[in-house]
Amino acid sequence: DGLLLDVDDLQVEFRTREGVAKAINGVSFALHEGETLAILGESGSGKSVTAQAVMGILDSPPGFVTGGQIRYCGEDLLTMSEEQRRQVRGPEISMVFQDALSSLNPVFTVGWQIAEMFRKHRGLNKSDAQEQAVRLMERVQIPGARQRVKAYPHQFSGGMRQRIMIAMAIALDPAVLIADEPTTALDVTVQAQIMDLLKELQEERRMGLILITHDLGVVADVADRIAVMYAGRIVEHADVFDLYGRPAHPYSKGLLESIPRLDQKGHELAAIGGLPPNLMRIPAGCSFNPRCRYAQDVCRVDPPPALRDLGHHRGSACHFAEDVLAGTAQQTRREI
């Protein structure tokens, strides 16, 4: 059925001198071939940590996976040997990071760095690897690739460097590509171009794509499904059109209201007041309750169920999910 990744009840803790932070507290999701899942949340919500756990680049202190499973094609990555894991990380599951400049090595040409993937993992000789590097640079639409293969990272713009990172990430034809805030450092026009490129490559190669972002506007056109994270949990999981049309969690609703929309120019954006909780002191009841304009007494006491099923493949971790969805939730606070 094309199931690539199956994450089940993932738990991650960070142990610091001040105490234990529950960075991920029971995250579950699936990713299929050819599917794009956006993981959305503010900084500190656990979206990058989730990606790092899947990628297997978390297994050193202070971050620890303390529970759950991450199955790739049926095999639990968390119980594999480090040697098996190395064969998955990179060739099968690959990642693009936010900061292309610090991910590229300044002292080697970009062509050399891309070609290195083919030399190391595919055993190609120097000139074949270089030729593959040129082709990949052309594929990610770097103008004059054949000449610029000999240029150094600092000779490229931020957008072009991100294209180079994408080229390296897809060099070995991974089944899953994870992009963590791939466009955050770029201007809006370039952001859209990079998103289009990722989408194109994903369709061409039938990859499963995970897009991690704090910006709902950036993923609207490319994602199939969205998982909204808050304080280490997924609080809403839905098809992108359903979530945009009618969010079923007050936090997603707040995020939607804070996106600038062309059809509402001049309207003030409604940012969500307050800050995400300190993960060492997650509020009792619903972790969103101090910021939620629909919070009632029960919300300060009882944690809502993890992703209550609302039909249409959507779930929401809110006591009043049906009311939020129907637009009939009772507002208990005006501004926070």
Which residues make Cβ contacts (< 8 Å) with residue 270, sequence separation at least 6?
254, 257, 258
Interactions with Mg ion, residue window 39-68 (CB under 5 A): 48
Nearer to Mg ion by Cβ, of 101 and 172: the residue is 101
Which residues share a beta bridge with 7?
A: 29, 70
SS3 259: coil
If one counts every other C-beta atom within 10 angstroms of the C-beta of residue 142, the result is 22
Contact present, 10 and 67 (Cβ < 8 Å): yes
**Interatomic CA distance for residues 236 and 302, integer angstroms:** 18
Interactions with ligand SF4, residue window 217-276 (CB under 6 A): 250
Q: Determine, following the binding rule CB under 6 A, whether residue 304 of this chain makes contact with ligand SF4.
A: yes
Q: Which of 14, 29, 97, 320 binds ligand SF4 (CB under 6 A)?
A: 320
Binding-site partner at residue 304 among ligand SF4, Mg ion, none, CB < 5 to 8 Å by type: ligand SF4
Q: Which of 7, 255, 292, 307 binds ligand SF4 (CB under 6 A)?
A: 292
Q: Determine, following the binding rule CB under 6 A, whether residue 318 of this chain makes contact with ligand SF4.
A: yes
Q: Determine, following the binding rule CB under 6 A, whether residue 286 of this chain makes contact with ligand SF4.
A: yes
Q: Determine, following the binding rule CB under 6 A, whether residue 299 of this chain makes contact with ligand SF4.
A: yes
DSSP secondary structure of 30-55: EEETT-EEEEE--TTSSHHHHHHHHH
CA angle 216, 197, 191 (to 5 degrees): 45
Binding-site partner at residue 48 among Mg ion, ligand SF4, none, CB < 5 to 8 Å by type: Mg ion
Binding-site partner at residue 286 among Mg ion, ligand SF4, none, CB < 5 to 8 Å by type: ligand SF4
Q: How near is the Cβ of 93 to ligand SF4 at its closest, in Å?
A: 32
Nearer to ligand SF4 by Cβ, of 35 and 242: the residue is 242
Q: How near is the Cβ of 285 to ligand SF4 at its closest, in Å?
A: 7
DSSP 8-state code for residue 77: T
Interactions with Mg ion, residue window 146-175 (CB under 5 A): none
Which residues make Cβ contacts (< 8 Å) with residue 26, sequence separation at least 6?
9, 10, 11, 68, 233, 306
**Interatomic CA distance for residues 28 and 23, integer angstroms:** 14
Binding site for ligand SF4 (CB under 6 A): 250, 286, 288-289, 292, 294-295, 299, 304, 318-320
Binding site for Mg ion (CB under 5 A): 48
